Amino acid sequence: MKSLKVLNHRLSDSSNQLAILEDDGLHRHASFKARLEALGEFPLRANGVEILQINIGKMCNQVCKHCHVDAGPDRKEIMTIETMRLCLNTLANSAIKTVDLTGGAPEMNPNFRWFVTEIKKLDKHIIVRCNLTIILANKKYHDLPEFFRQNQLEVVSSLPSFSKDRTDRQRGDGVFEDSIKALQMLNEVGYGISKNELQLNLVYNPAGAFLPPSQQALEAEYKQALLKEFGISFNNLYAITNMPISRYLDYLISTGNYDKYMEKLVSAFNPSAVKNVMCRNTISVSWDGFLYDCDFNQMLELPVNTPHTLHLKDFNLSALSTREIVIKQHCYGCTAGAGSSCGGEVTVLS
């Protein structure tokens, strides 16, 4: 399977995605902006910057059907060591506490390990979004669990189901088996066992055109099933809503599910999720050093609304800390039901 970009698909152009999301001016779905206005939450503003989420490249060993990055082995965009140095410089000069490394498969960046050890020297908490199968993909990655442990990384990994069938349908044939092996390897070096250290958190996202069920109930089921079937332990399960952008948008449109899915997101709008959307405390950095409100806005090429600080070279923490967030219709994906972020639900439902 190839990326939309390599296929030269019309959705590889973010302006086409935005035109669809903005309903081609038809206004069939209530506008996200109007919903925020009604709540007195417009403009939505950042409330500091606590997390720097760095996308260090779009290259990935997988080509998942729902991928909002349109990642895959055919993507060549990768962060250079010079841009990594800019990240380190920014981190050294700011009180940002957490660095969230994502991709693609971040481990495929040739400077990944160097970058991690340099960030560690700055005493930051590091999260790595590891797709699990990368650990098995090549001999040179087999020691990743040990590398993660040595650097005390928090590992966040996708496993859309504890059943092989659903996982492979979303992520590709054989992904489930490799993911299980990788989780066992992570457990072996100590991940997912204790409450406080070597955190191993799993991500559930729906394999289809629907919203995630209750995170709490799902976590209990995952824990029971993974332990019983495969002897695997982990810390938390994050239930994440699929964003109607990029390859997932293509899936929704090509299966005739787009309108219904948007209706689901719109009708599940939860006002209490608005306060905790992740863009309020995060800045997302692209492989080439540009700044965005979140990884989704990055993929839609919607830069931060701070004209003088668009790139790491001009990083101005105070301007970014109170910036107005760029919102569009895809933001409904963050406020549906219990809300959704890179850390799962953002509200506690009764």
Partner 1 sequence: MSDHYYNADDLAKFGNIAEYQKEMSDKFFSYYGEVFKDGHLTAKEKSLIALAVAHAVQCPYCIDAYSSDAYEKGYSEQQMMEAVHVAAAIKGGAVLVHGVQMMNKVKEIGM
Pairing of strands 282-285, 291-292: antiparallel
Listing DSSP states for 208-264 in one string gives SSS----HHHHHHHHHHHHHHHH----S-EEE-PPPSSHHHHHHHHHTT-HHHHHHH
Using rule CB under 6 A, residue 266 touches ligand SF4: no
| Contact call for residues 134 and 61 (beta carbons, < 8 A) | yes
Is 56 a residue that touches partner 1 (CB under 8 A)?
no
Q: Work out which of 190, 208, 303, 343 binds partner 1, going by CB under 8 A.
A: 208
The answer to whether 68 and 295 have CB atoms below 8 angstroms apart is: yes
Residue 190 binding partner per list ligand SF4, partner 1, none, with a CB distance cut-off of 5 to 8 Å that depends on partner kind: none
Stretch that binds partner 1, among 24-32, 34-42, 211-219, 246-254 (CB under 8 A): 211-219
| C-beta of 213 vs 343, nearer to partner 1 | 213
Pattern 64-93, ligand SF4, x by CB under 6 A: x--x-x-x----------------------
Q: Name which of 56 and 60 has its Cβ closer to ligand SF4.
A: 60
Residue 212 binding: pick among ligand SF4, partner 1, none (C-beta 5-8 Å cut-off by kind) = partner 1
Binders of ligand SF4 in range 118-137 (CB under 6 A): 131
Of the listed pieces 179-187, 206-214, 310-318, 327-335, which binds partner 1 according to CB under 8 A? 206-214
- Structure tokens belonging to residue 79: 């962060």
CB under 5 to 8 A by kind: which of partner 1, ligand SF4, none does 145 bind?
none
Strand partners, 128: 101, 155
Contact 292, 286 (CB under 8 A): yes
Alpha-carbon gap, residue 188 to 100, rounded angstroms = 24
Least distance in angstroms from the C-beta of 232 to ligand SF4: 19
Q: Does 331 engage in binding with ligand SF4 (CB under 6 A)?
A: yes
**Are 309 and 291 in contact, with CB atoms under 8 Å apart?**
yes
Residue 339 contacts partner 1 per CB under 8 A:
no
Q: Provide the H-helix boundaries in the chain.
A: 4-7, 14-21, 32-39, 81-92, 112-121, 133-137, 144-150, 164-171, 175-188, 215-230, 246-254, 258-267, 271-274, 295-299, 317-321, 332-335
CA 115, CA 348: separation in Å to the nearest integer?
35
279 binds, among partner 1, ligand SF4, none (CB under 5 to 8 A by kind): ligand SF4
- Site residues for ligand SF4 per CB under 6 A: 60, 62-64, 67, 69, 71, 103-105, 131, 277-279, 293-294, 296-297, 325, 327, 330-331, 334
